[in-house]
Amino acid sequence: MSEREEKRSAAFAIHLFRRIAVVSGFIAAVLCILLLINYLQLQRTDPLNSPALEALIGRLRENPEDTDLREEIRALDLLARRAYFTRIWQIRVASLMLLGSVSALIVSLKILSRDRQKLPAESGETTSLRTAFLSRFGLMVMAAVLLASGLAAAVLSDSALSRDYAVGGNGDGPIQESEAAVAQDTEIKENYLDTEVLRRNWPGFRGPGGVGIAYVADAPTQWNGSTGQGVVWKTAIPKPGFNSPIIWEDRIFLSGADEQSREVYCLDRHSGAIFWQSSVDNVPGSPTEAPQVSSDTGYAAPTMATDGARVFAIFATGDVVGLDFAGVVVWERNLGVPENHYGHSSSLMVYRDLLIVQYDHDGGARLLALDTANGQTVWETERQVMTSWTSPILVYTGRRPEVILNANPYVAAYDPDSGRELWQVECMFGEVGPSPAYGDGLVYAANQFAQLVAIDVNTREIVWELYDDLPDASSPLAVEGCVYVPTSYGYLSCLDAKTGEIYWIHDYGGSSYSSPVYAAGRIYWMDKSGVMHIFEAGTEFIPISDPTLGEPSWAVPAFTDSRIYIRGEQHLYCIGG
């Protein structure tokens, strides 16, 4: 190549890198300005606590039974939360773009600085200007200032958003919360978890919050499914399923499935008549062949959930569906076939307008929140745990709602609004089946051949441990200062909730996969043969009765209006006085 061509090539390269430097510098400057403006705006306004929302909350305090106003608050709060996540995403994307543009600027300037002696003279350009433009020191300082100021604004903005929104941390230290923010959010969240409408219904597995407490004044203690004594009605359910009934007002919902098909059923709570049954088929992404599952799990083990307007079901295929109360499929999707050697069994849970799905399997454990209106993913959090068969519980710990999960190796809590992990305690191992329990600031998690632990949600410390007579499927129950621990082989223990001291152990002599429920001062625990063991709640074992269903049962009973609804192997029973 001739010297002239070399100079021409060098001039072209230098011209190109100068253009790159100018463009990348301009982009970096614009991004830096935008990030600084965004930070200044955050200092003046709170993206989540808008005046409109505060005004609506004030009106709700004056009219707590105004359901339309509550729905308006939920809708406005949802918009605020979505805008919050969008803003965080924009800040982080802008930060990456700033980093990329400054990197391009620095690389271009280095090349121009190295080869500045090759630059051809240009008319009207003085040596001092060219030197100033190409001065390595000056340009590097400019790039460093742009990068530092922009990234500082991004970090401060992200921290401000997290501080305004967060109801927790990552479990590494004490949580720094604004009392005003907690008080502002408590009204709606605590109302959701503790409203009369939830208490008089049975919206999911083990009732409101999934903790096994029925808010009823009375419940029957005598019946016989074989003779019909105490049985108000019983209805055959077309397809098998180990899931438990859920209740909303006058409707009961169940699901059933086999290797060929999946169905959802709606029954009249008063008569037992089947209002409708809806097939769940042709779900996009659903496998053409059903996965292999254990006979103890089946294809419809997870209990459904409802928000009072729609019902939701999930199956061993990974198909999840939302239906309205008329049985019309509103949305359906497949989450991916769970790689689970027994079959998927984690039950669903509704929190406000989110459907919470615990999806712990070998293909990638995660916790998801789906929009109840359309099934789209609102947030998704990866979990570093093994396959589990447990279900989430949702509790209000005194300052915030927490979704708490039990798996190997962690018991962990998450913010139901964002999916952020609030804390985790490494304390579990094995194939975990029992769901956690909660009471008075302590989480109780157990698994057979592992341990039972009581975890303080504030300090994240294990308060006490127990290693004997532990469950492998049934879940513990915490109520009125006691923890009741069932086992699959028929032992049931009563422990002091604060210390773990054993008050009593009783051997019922059967086996059970069901979980105990507290109702009207009594504990109800169903065994596999269909016998319900009923005893007084308390530090002394006082048996009441052992009525029989007349057919095997694995499900957790549902309670409402002084009646019990029990799913047997073939029928759904309504038990009443």
pLDDT in tens, 61-91: 566 566 666 667 656 655 665 565 566 567 6
Reference 185, options 167, 208, 209; nearest CA is 167
Tell me how far CA of residue 181 lies from CA of 48, 158, 185, 400, 429, in angstroms.
10, 17, 6, 11, 37
- Mean pLDDT for 4-32 is 72
pLDDT digits (tens, 9 = 90+) for 253-275: 999 999 999 999 999 999 999 99
Q: Is the pLDDT of residue 282 over 60?
A: yes
Question: Phi and psi at residue 294, in whole multiples of 5°?
Answer: -75, 150
Q: Is the pLDDT of residue 346 over 60?
A: yes
CATH number for 193-575: choose from 2.40.37.10, 3.30.70.380, 2.130.10.10, 3.20.20.70.
2.130.10.10
Count CB neighbours of 41 within 10 A: 11
Work out the mean pLDDT of the chain and round it to a whole number: 83
| 186-195, 287-296, 442-451: least confidently modelled range | 186-195
Contact criterion met (CB below 8 Å) for 47 and 80: yes
Question: Phi and psi at residue 75, in whole multiples of 5°?
Answer: -65, -45
436 compared with 62, residue with greater pLDDT: 436
Count CB neighbours of 250 within 10 A: 12
Residue 131, sorted as left (phi over 0), alpha (psi -120 to 50) or beta, turns out to be alpha
Token code pair at residue 212: 């096994």
Count CB neighbours of 175 within 10 A: 15
Reference 537, options 485, 479, 452, 487; nearest CA is 479
Per this entry, what is the length of the chain?
577
| 137-151, 406-420, 521-535, 538-552: least confidently modelled range | 137-151
Residues 6 or more apart in contact with residue 69 via CB below 8 angstroms: 56, 59, 60, 63
* Residue 22 binned pLDDT confidence (cut-offs 50, 70, 90): confident
Reference 28, options 84, 126, 123, 108; nearest CA is 108
Token code pair at residue 165: 């929104």
Reference 208, options 191, 183, 220; nearest CA is 191
Domain boundaries, the chain: 3-165, 193-575
What percent of the chain lies above the pLDDT cut of 70? 73
* Residue 107 binned pLDDT confidence (cut-offs 50, 70, 90): confident
Count CB neighbours of 459 within 10 A: 11
Reference 306, options 334, 330, 288; nearest CA is 330
Residues 6 or more apart in contact with residue 374 via CB below 8 angstroms: 330, 331
Q: How far apart are CA 301 and CA 315, in angstroms?
A: 7
pLDDT digits (tens, 9 = 90+) for 477-519: 999 999 999 999 999 999 999 999 999 999 998 899 999 999 9
What pLDDT score does 190 carry?
Answer: 46
461 compared with 8, residue with greater pLDDT: 461
What pLDDT score does 494 carry?
Answer: 98
What is the residue type of 286? S
Query: End-to-end alpha-carbon separation of the chain, Å?
Result: 103
